[in-house]
């Protein structure tokens, strides 16, 4: 029962749509109405507001971090274990991707997954983030960076932690991330993918 409560609480935390909240608070257009229609930091950047994009990125990442750290903080009083922290991580991620507040439509989950990984293990999460940054700065394709990080994350997690629950959680997140980027993959292959900082009406 406690694990179910952890999963539900984490899902609700993950469902918080920071892209929409930040855009509305700053008087910007709803990010679901331009670009890719994706309520995430990369698409918010197409509004022309770097501040809004950064705030969205931080908010989305913190959802994953807070869910995992909260589960760990409650481990003693509620008798939770590291498996419950892993459950919190995956459900925060699922909340972002399938937000109950957006009719089960959400972002692609890159920032939230990063937040989960960094809370899970700073070294493993840091290596995954470094992979994203390397590919992003080299190619200027956010989608290519996300795909590279998704492939690297389970490897770093298993290598650094060797924990079955966290390895399984990372594999599931990575698989969903790759699935959510299927259209980006098609555009990358066709040479039509837009780059980081592209114009507002470009799709990505």
Of residues 52, 54, 61, the one with CA closest to residue 23: 52
Residue 198: the pLDDT is 60
Cα–Cα dist 114/97, whole Å: 13
Mean pLDDT of the chain: 92
The 3-state DSSP class for residue 14 equals helix
Determine contact, residues 89/67, Cβ cutoff 8 Å.
yes
Cα–Cα dist 48/69, whole Å: 33
Residue 93: the pLDDT is 98
Residue with tokens 């390895």: 167
Residue 76: the pLDDT is 81
Residue 46 parent element (H or E)? none
Residue 180: the pLDDT is 94
Q: What is the pLDDT of residues 121-149, one digit of tens each?
A: 999 999 999 999 999 999 999 899 999 99
Query: Is residue 199 scored above 50 in pLDDT?
Result: yes
pLDDT band at 203 (very low <50, low <70, confident <90, very high): very low
Q: What is the pLDDT of residues 16-33, one digit of tens each?
A: 999 999 999 999 999 998
Share of the chain above pLDDT 90, in %: 78
Cα–Cα dist 182/131, whole Å: 20
Cα–Cα dist 158/160, whole Å: 6
Of residues 124, 108, 107, the one with CA closest to residue 116: 124
Query: Is residue 166 scored above 60 in pLDDT?
Result: yes
Q: Once rounded to an integer, what is the mean pLDDT over residues 143-166? A: 95
pTM of the model: 0.91
The 3-state DSSP class for residue 197 equals coil
Query: Is residue 202 scored above 60 in pLDDT?
Result: no
Residue 106 CA: distances (Å) to CA of 47, 69, 102, 112: 18, 23, 7, 11
Residue with tokens 């994009």: 53
């Amino acid at each position: 029962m406690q694990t179910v409560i952890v999963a539900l609480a984490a899902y609700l935390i993950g469902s918080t749509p920071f892209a929409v909240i930040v855009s509305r608070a700053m008087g910007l257009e709803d990010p679901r109405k331009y670009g890719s229609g994706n309520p995430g930091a990369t698409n918010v950047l197409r509004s022309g507001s770097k501040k809004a994009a950064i705030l969205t990125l931080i908010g989305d990442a913190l959802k994953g971090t807070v869910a995992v750290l909260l589960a760990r903080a409650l481990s003693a009083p509620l008798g939770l274990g590291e498996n419950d922290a892993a459950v919190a991580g995956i459900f925060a991620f699922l909340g972002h991707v399938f937000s109950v507040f957006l009719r089960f439509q959400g972002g692609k989950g890159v920032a939230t997954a990063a937040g989960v990984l960094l809370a899970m293990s700073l070294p493993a999460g840091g290596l995954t983030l470094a992979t994203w940054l390397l590919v992003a700065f080299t190619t200027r394709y956010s989608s290519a960076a996300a795909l590279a990080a998704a492939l690297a994350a389970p490897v770093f997690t298993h290598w650094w932690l060797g924990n079955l629950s966290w390895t399984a959680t990372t594999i599931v997140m990575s698989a969903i991330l790759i699935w959510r980027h299927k259209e980006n993959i098609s555009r990358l292959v066709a040479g039509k993918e837009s780059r980081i900082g592209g114009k507002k009406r470009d799709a990505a």
